[in-house]
Amino acid sequence: MKIAVVTAPGAVELRDEPRPELGADDVLVEVGACGLCTMERRLFAGEKQMYPVAPGHEAAGHIVEVGAAVAGLPGVPEVGDRVSVDLLTRCGACDACRRGHTALCKRPQGDRLHDGTVSVGAGLAEFVRVPAKQAWAVGDAPMAHASMGEPVACVAHSLRLSGLHAWDRVAIIGAGFMGRLHLALSRVAGASPIGLVDVSDQRLQEARDAGAAWTATPDTAVATGGKQDVVFVTAGTPGTVELALGLCDDGGTVVLYGAFPKDLFASVAPDAIHHHEHSIVGVYSQEPEDWRTAAGLIRSGAIAADLDALVTGTYSLADVGDAFALADSNPVFRVLVGPGV
């Protein structure tokens, strides 16, 4: 089969790789679409150097084979089913996994191709093999929507850890792809009003078109939106933590969702957090419970219009280099690769 490998900054090639052999508890998926997210962009841009590497962890496709031990079990996808696949590995044995925090599994992520190339998801390929428990049927949802299962699961994880309730007032700092998914899922959860904060006029207009009740630049956010019950930070840039706390009402929660530079520090007043009972919650990746939510939302069509608006471009696997080049430009939401898009 063909698989995409990033070999150096700005360089990606298709290689031949043996089709994965199925284990008794696995399913084999013919990939229909795979999204390029921030990790893929950083690899291509040279910001994250670990070459050669086979990336692609936002994949979806059709089941073509089911392992003998799980075939016919209720809930296990069958041959022909359209699925969104969870390519995260969880050892189940480390301290984090035993405590239920499988998103923080201590075992390093990834595997290797037959030639020793590091694989991180390896969903930019013709086929992927996953444990059956990590393939989620999405009915007849479009393949493009199914390929967004992983980021939707990450946002479902964010909302779950935030303690969001219906009727909560929500502000989202960052109106990019993840900010827009937070808007969509917060709306479905019954939050209202929901506002977005960004420095880009284009992004703010797009957020208004997507149903944001209010939008603002960082310097006008507090005056425009007022105090909030939950503030999601999806853009990890200087000043966003302080801005989020300024937006947070008494008893509110700030969720640090976006990745921050390792050397960035924020000024936080502990006494203000104490007297106003603010909570600051870190959120990373996703867990099986969040996949159930994500697959259900995609299958139901509840966020279909939101997902449609977040597809920036589609490419065949043969044109994966052009897909990476587009994903490395700005502004984009999701660039998808595969025959199903």
Tokens of 247: 């937006």
- What does the pLDDT read at residue 77? 98
Q: What is the pLDDT of residues 189-244, one digit of tens each?
A: 999 999 999 999 999 999 999 999 999 999 999 999 999 999 999 999 999 999 99
Average pLDDT, the chain: 97
- What does the pLDDT read at residue 330? 78
What are the E-state strand segments in 21-142?
Answer: 26-36, 53-54, 58-66, 82-85, 111-112, 118-119, 127-131, 135-137
Q: What is the mean pLDDT of residues 93-107?
A: 96
Q: Which value, to the nearest 10 degrees, does the dihedral of the CA atoms of residues 140, 165, 234, 37 take?
A: -20
> Terminal CA-to-CA distance of the chain, rounded, Å?
19
Q: What is the mean pLDDT of residues 110-131?
A: 95
Is the torsion defined by CA of 145, 307, 181, 203 positive or negative? positive
Does 305 have pLDDT greater than 90? yes
- What does the pLDDT read at residue 324? 97
Equal fold, 2-148+310-337 vs 155-282: no
Specify the DSSP class assigned to residue 309.
Answer: T
| Architecture of domain 155-282 in this structure | 3-Layer(aba) Sandwich (3.40)
- What does the pLDDT read at residue 108? 87
- What does the pLDDT read at residue 283? 97
- What does the pLDDT read at residue 81? 98
CA distance 76 to 79: 10
Q: Reduce the DSSP state of residue 39 to 3 states and report it.
A: helix
Give 287's pLDDT tier (boundaries 50, 70, 90): very high
CA distance 297 to 88: 20
Q: Is the pTM of this model over 0.95?
A: yes
How many CA atoms are closer than 13 Å to the CA of 245, on its beta-carbon side? 19
Q: Which residues fall within 8 angstroms of residue 33, CB to CB, at 6 or more apart?
A: 59, 60, 61, 143, 144, 146, 147, 314, 336, 337, 338, 340, 341
Among the listed residues 268, 257, 261, the one whose alpha carbon sits nearest the alpha carbon of residue 237: 261
Give 332's pLDDT tier (boundaries 50, 70, 90): very high
Among the listed residues 34, 6, 29, the one whose alpha carbon sits nearest the alpha carbon of residue 338: 34
> ∠284-307-340 over CA atoms, to 5°?
100
CA distance 48 to 46: 5
Among the listed residues 184, 267, 307, the one whose alpha carbon sits nearest the alpha carbon of residue 196: 184
Q: Which residues fall within 8 angstroms of residue 67, CB to CB, at 6 or more apart?
A: 22, 23, 24, 25, 26, 27, 132
Among the listed residues 84, 78, 86, 85, the one whose alpha carbon sits nearest the alpha carbon of residue 103: 86
Q: For the purposes of burial, counting CB atoms within 10 Å of the CB of 44, is it exposed (0-12), middle (13-18) or buried (19 or more)?
A: buried
Domain boundaries, the chain: 2-148+310-337, 155-282
Q: To which CATH superfamily is domain 2-148+310-337 assigned?
A: Medium-chain alcohol dehydrogenases, catalytic domain (3.90.180.10)
